[in-house]
Amino acid sequence: MASFYPSLEDLEVDSQAQAQVALAQQQAILGASQPAIAGVATGSGESAVVGSMYSDLMAEMNQWGGLEISEKALAQHMPADAVQSWTHFAQPIVAVTPQADAGMQRAAVKAGVRRVTLAKDGTGKLGVAVAAWDKGVFVAFVWRDSAAALGGLRFGDQITTINGELVAGWSQSQTLTYLKKAAPEKVVFTVKDRPMMRPITCQKDSQNHIGFMFRKGLVNNILKTSSAARNGMMTNHQVLEINGQCVVGLKDEDLVTLFRESPPTCTVTITPKFVYDHLINKIGFSKIKKFMDHGVPEM
């Protein structure tokens, strides 16, 4: 059962802790199982031996058989303390990233679709512009303080339906025309979270740096030994969010300030430059710079 870690630093520190705990458990098993050889078996020693054997078996069987290895399923076949001992290793025991890190939660790209219901403002606008390519329709602009911003639409979200109408294959003009004609009191979108974007969680160094450089928001250099390099940052990618906050249209000095003020764990959302160019191509950067929503999203 593989564990996922927010950053390479989390994986490394947890791996060290797991190794220490595993060694301690092995020593405990050996110590507890000695009396069993002499005919004085103890419950905890027996459970630990069973837990160790079962974990090895499940690791192999899960590769081939897809067996259910939830805590509930294991409890039907193992002593209670062995279940707790074994399932403990499915989760990290030490982490650098705080468990409830707000930036990482705001930046999370969730699977599936969500529903967003909006109402037009007094001027008949929703506050959203779209881009269309490869048979997909994407959110390319979210107007500050608009219904779209308040409703949670985000730059790069993919729109899959509007009022139940499948929009796959629609052009930009077709989508905007449909939105203009939609009833003002209720427009219902189904949306996929930012499918072309990738959040990268990094840890700052002692100098408060993450380890990459950018110009006009585009990553153009990465320090080889930095957390950014260790966690998969790439050049020729546009910085779109810092800790979940949209930074599209902000000046580089504004980004520097946000990075400087970020907690030690910082999540940066990036996308390939060609994707970014597609999204803003027909919007106009001056409008994005002046009116794009840069609010901090709710978790």
For residues 224 and 83, what is the distance between their CA atoms, to the nearest angstrom? 42
What are phi and psi for residue 294, nearest 5 degrees? -120, 25
- List the structure tokens of 110: 């969730």
Domains 113-192 and 198-291 share a fold: yes
Report pLDDT digits (tens) over 143-199.
999 999 999 999 999 999 999 999 999 999 999 999 999 999 999 999 999 999 999
Helix 80-87 with 43-65: angle, nearest 10 deg: 50
CA nearest to 199, candidates 94, 93, 297: 297
Amino acid at 47: S
Q: Which CATH number fits domain 198-291: 3.20.20.70, 3.40.640.10, 2.30.42.10, 3.30.465.10?
A: 2.30.42.10
Q: Give the fold, CATH level 3, of 113-192.
A: Pdz3 Domain (2.30.42)
pLDDT for residue 77: 60
CA nearest to 209, candidates 178, 233, 177: 233
Amino acid at 160: T
Q: Report whether 283 contacts 139 (CB < 8 A).
A: no
Report pLDDT digits (tens) over 89-145.
456 677 889 888 999 999 999 999 999 999 999 999 999 999 999 999 999 999 999
What are phi and psi for residue 162, nearest 5 degrees? -130, 120
- List the structure tokens of 16: 């060290």
| Residue linked to tokens 């979940």 | 244
pLDDT for residue 282: 85
Per mean pLDDT, which range of 40-44, 67-71, 122-126, 248-252 is the poorest? 40-44
Q: Where are the domains of the chain?
A: 8-90, 113-192, 198-291
Helix 43-65 with 8-37: angle, nearest 10 deg: 130
> Helix, strand, coil proportions of the chain in percent (round to 5)?
40, 20, 40
